[in-house]
Structure 1
């Protein structure tokens, strides 16, 4: 007999053909907050807060709308995020739709150097995409807390997510992950919050590193929307023809 959860999973698998073949990669939303001069943190041991409560709530709402959230290993190591939907009402709304209370959590590793005690692994379903040479090392490290999947490139990662029913992936950092997805041209929507201050320290991590980006002086990204958030501003860029209204 069909269940609500089963119907929800079937709906999430709409990117699959009848034979199970992947027909479309997940929609990729990249979300980031940066200072006016493009830094996503400072060089101090404490995490720099670039957003206010209103923006944290906005991001929580975006999380609740996604099927999966990805953070890179440096972000997990430095910020120790839980990557959960914070609002009880939004968690309850997801459950009422037959979904888990919080999206699937995703990370990537090329070294296998992940700490199983990190809060990222404490709650919810976790997928770790590991470079082929370190798959077994990664399974020894976090296999009790996560599903470890071989993947050496973004196309493989996104195809596997699509096969698991992930329709929307939210990428939340850090700089290496932003650069990887953007230079590959695999981001559909960029939500960039510009905080109203400067960091001014080249030791700090920037929004992206060096790379050959598809959007440049000759091929500009399209600005889809601008939303003030107090003294900060949300810039929403359409980076593909799949970008949602």
Structure 2
């Protein structure tokens, strides 16, 4: 059984997830960061694209000691499994995705990248080859494999290319979208989604929550 897929993203009013400056643009606030930590604690795995691993160097760990303890009390590891997907295989084994935390790390790679990555990452992550045309990664096969590994709830935290794929391929169950009260105003800045065969028609809005100066919008996708 494939996991329930939850897409999580913070964006500006004009749909950007970052600007083109040297530092990461913080779109959320402390209260929402804590909410995201709670959502992470409710999931079995967190996925980001390889571009996000390279650009943002995320740790993808649960911050709250209390939430970590509650997971352990339920028989779960302190942190969710970390997952990334890569077509090119250009990942640094010293980045925080691999070095932070003792939990399991999974890398789904294209045919051309899988063997070199397995040698590069060695004992830092499990590298899995998932078939796809050319040098692509088949997300359906990724979800199938995660399901076999016991992942029942998957949180996808971006970036935009990965969110676009999950939406275009109708593989997401829920979208949690946080809108920050600012404009980026740069057409070249990264966006929440870009092109693709995105869902048509009006989505099912299930909740709107004001969290400080940002708004959380929750949508059911299927």
**Deviation at residue 232 of structure 1 after TM alignment:** 1.0
Give aligned pairs, total. 214
Aligned partners of 1:112 and 1:141 also within 8 Å: no
Match among 211, 214, 221 for residue 232 of structure 1: 214
Higher-Rg structure is: 1
Q: Distance in 2 between matches of 1:177 and 1:97?
A: 31
**Deviation at residue 196 of structure 1 after TM alignment:** 0.4
Q: Distance in 2 between matches of 1:142 and 1:173?
A: 22
Runs of 4+ in 1 over 4 A off after TM superposition: none
Q: Distance in 1 between matches of 2:159 and 2:123?
A: 25
Match among 203, 206, 209 for residue 221 of structure 1: 203
Cα deviation per residue 1:181-214 (whole Å; 9 max; x = unaligned)?
110000000000000000001121000111111x
Aligned partners of 1:190 and 1:236 also within 8 Å: yes
Cα deviation per residue 1:33-81 (whole Å; 9 max; x = unaligned)?
0000000000001000000000000000000000000011111111110
Pair 1:183-2:168 in alignment = yes
Aligned partners of 1:31 and 1:170 also within 8 Å: yes
Cα deviation per residue 1:195-245 (whole Å; 9 max; x = unaligned)?
0000001121000111111x22xx2211011001112100000000xxxxx
2:119 counterpart SS class: helix
Cα deviation per residue 1:69-103 (whole Å; 9 max; x = unaligned)?
00111111111100000000000000011110000
Q: Distance in 1 between matches of 2:22 and 2:2?
A: 37
What TM-score do the two structures reach when normalised by structure 1? 0.86
Pair 1:164-2:143 in alignment = no
**Deviation at residue 133 of structure 1 after TM alignment:** 2.0
Residue aligning to 2:70 = 93
Q: CA RMSD in A?
A: 0.8
Q: Distance in 2 between matches of 1:76 and 1:133?
A: 19
Unaligned runs of 5+ in 2: 133-137
Q: Distance in 1 between matches of 2:212 and 2:34?
A: 13
Pair 1:204-2:189 in alignment = yes
Q: Distance in 2 between matches of 1:220 and 1:186?
A: 17
2:84 counterpart SS class: strand
What TM-score do the two structures reach when normalised by structure 2? 0.95
Residue aligning to 1:10 = none
